[in-house]
Every structure is written in structure tokens, then in C-alpha cells.
């Protein structure tokens, strides 16, 4: 069944793009084939279709991540994906989208092709709402095997937090402070680069700007709303989960 699935992909790409007659046509054919493979592979990631995902990995697959480090072997990657698609998936539903204009594909003699580009990752709230949380660069080494294209190496790097809107550092500083949520709970809000960070004891989360006063987390459907007083200074914070208020606190400094 696995052999048939990849063989079908190979036949489809050949039928769709035809046989090359010169280098230019060959490059276009190669680009089209890699784009199709990329699309199916990352659709399996977005859908947590682990069976299809594994079909694309070579036996000696390696994944290099600037924050997560090296994942060596296909078995290790599938173990990681099983975790990602389990309890973590219930908390943080992510979707990867390719930035098409950034993609470049070049052939590698007697091996396959290298694909480079950028992609975005979104937190999926529901079928209609998704919120960007990150952008990154990637390099994929694709190996052409008799049964079709397979991923040999993946390098994912330069991960940068991203948000629905971008606020200037001066604007973010307006929200920095301590917020008394209850007699024994204080949330400390600091600015970290282009985001805010909220902390209470061991719990910590980055806050991504959605409007000039509302921020979201990179997991769950949670929003932090900062409320200004008559003087224009931020006086309190209200926390919502799934659209319902669950907590509020007053700025104490």
C-alpha cells in the first residue's frame, strides 16, 4: 500500500508536467514535482496523517531544528510526531503554510533536489479563525527514488515570532507592569523583543498582539485584554478563554 501511494504521486507528477525537452523545461518540471510533494507532505503534517507523513521519509532521515536540535532517523521523527499529534495537538492546533513566492528548487546530480524557502505557522482556533505565531526558513533535501520523491534531510531555522499585527516597542512598553489577579496571584508582564511575556511563578507565556490592546497566546483560545483608564494609562487586565471572561486583575505599579 505504501509503495502504491508513492508510485501514484510519481505518475501524477509525470502526467501533469510531461517530459522535459531542455534545461528550462526540466527545471519547471522539477519545481512542479517538488511543489506537489511538498504540498502532500505538509498536508499530512497539518492533518496529523502519520501514515502518509512517514511515507515521505527516507530510512536515514534527519531533521535539524534551530530550537529543537537534531532528530536522527525516521523512527525518532515518527516518535516525535506521535507526541505532537497526541496531547500536544489537543492544546496547540498548528497549521503550516508555505510562502510560495519564497521557494526555490535546484537539482542535485545523481540524487534529487534541494528546496529552500520560508513558511508560516498558525494557531488554528476553528475552521474560520487562525492566528499566525511564527515564521521560519527551511531547506529540504529531496531524494528521487524509483517509487517517488522522499525527504532525506530537513533543516528548519531562523524561527521568528510573528503576530496578527506588529506593535512598536514603545507601544508594547505601555503594558509592562505587575497585575494583581487575586490576593495571592500576581502576573508580571514584560516586553521581550517584539512581544509581551506574562509570568506567574513557573507559568510563562508569550503574548502576541491582535489589536492595540488585545493579545493572544500561541496555544488554546486565550486572549489578554488590557484596559486603559481615563488618564490613558493601562489600569487592568482581563483574561478570556473561548470568548468568556475567566479572570481579571488590577495593575499594581
In the chain, ranges of CATH 3.10.450.50 domains: 2-161
pLDDT value at residue 85? 92
CA distances from 198 to 171, 190, 233 (A): 16, 7, 18
3-state secondary structure of 42: helix
- Reading the block at residue 217, the C-alpha cell is 497566546
CATH architecture of 169-251: Beta Barrel (2.40)
Give the residue ranges of the chain where pLDDT is below 50. 1-8, 10-21
> Residue 145 contacts by C-beta under 8 Å, 6 or more apart in sequence?
6, 58
pLDDT value at residue 165? 95
Dihedral, CA of residue 105, residue 107, residue 108 and residue 113, to nearest 10: 50
User: Tens digits of per-residue pLDDT, 183-199?
Assistant: 999 999 999 999 999 99
In the chain, ranges of CATH 2.40.128 domains: 169-251
pLDDT value at residue 217? 96
Residue closest to 216 by CA, chosen among 227, 231, 205: 205
pLDDT value at residue 22? 57
Residue closest to 253 by CA, chosen among 208, 202, 209, 189: 189
Longest dimension (CA), the chain: 75
- Reading the block at residue 32, the C-alpha cell is 512542479
User: Tens digits of per-residue pLDDT, 2-17?
Assistant: 444 444 454 444 443 3
Domain 2-161 maps to which CATH number in 3.40.1350.10, 3.40.47.10, 3.10.450.50, 3.40.50.880?
3.10.450.50
pLDDT value at residue 11? 44
Amino acid at each position: 500500500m505504501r509503495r502504491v501511494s508513492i508510485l501514484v504521486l510519481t505518475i501524477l507528477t509525470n502526467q501533469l508536467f510531461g517530459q522535459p525537452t531542455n534545461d528550462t523545461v526540466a527545471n519547471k518540471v522539477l519545481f512542479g514535482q517538488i511543489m506537489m510533494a511538498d504540498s502532500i507532505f505538509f498536508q499530512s503534517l497539518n492533518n496529523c496523517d502519520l501514515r502518509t507523513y512517514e511515507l515521505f521519509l527516507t530510512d536515514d532521515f534527519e531533521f535539524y531544528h534551530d530550537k529543537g536540535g537534531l532528530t536522527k532517523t525516521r523512527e525518532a521523527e515518527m516518535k516525535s510526531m506521535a507526541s505532537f499529534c497526541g496531547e500536544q495537538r489537543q492544546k496547540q492546533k498548528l497549521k503550516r503554510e508555505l510562502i510560495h513566492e519564497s521557494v526555490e528548487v535546484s537539482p542535485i546530480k545523481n540524487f534529487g533536489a534541494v528546496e529552500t524557502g520560508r513558511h508560516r505557522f498558525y494557531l488554528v482556533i476553528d475552521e474560520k479563525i487562525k492566528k499566525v505565531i511564527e515564521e521560519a526558513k527551511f531547506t529540504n533535501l529531496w531524494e528521487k527514488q524509483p517509487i517517488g520523491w522522499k525527504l532525506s534531510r530537513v533543516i528548519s531555522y531562523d524561527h521568528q515570532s510573528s503576530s496578527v499585527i506588529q506593535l512598536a516597542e514603545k507601544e508594547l512598553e505601555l503594558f509592562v507592569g505587575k497585575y494583581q489577579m487575586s490576593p495571592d496571584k500576581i502576573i508580571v508582564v514584560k516586553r521581550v523583543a517584539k512581544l509581551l511575556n506574562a509570568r506567574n511563578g513557573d507559568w510563562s507565556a508569550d503574548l502576541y498582539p491582535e489589536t492595540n490592546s488585545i493579545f493572544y497566546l500561541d496555544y488554546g483560545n486565550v486572549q489578554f485584554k488590557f484596559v486603559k483608564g481615563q488618564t490613558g494609562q493601562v489600569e487592568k487586565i482581563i483574561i478570556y478563554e473561548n470568548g468568556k471572561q475567566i479572570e481579571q486583575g488590577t495593575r499594581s505599579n
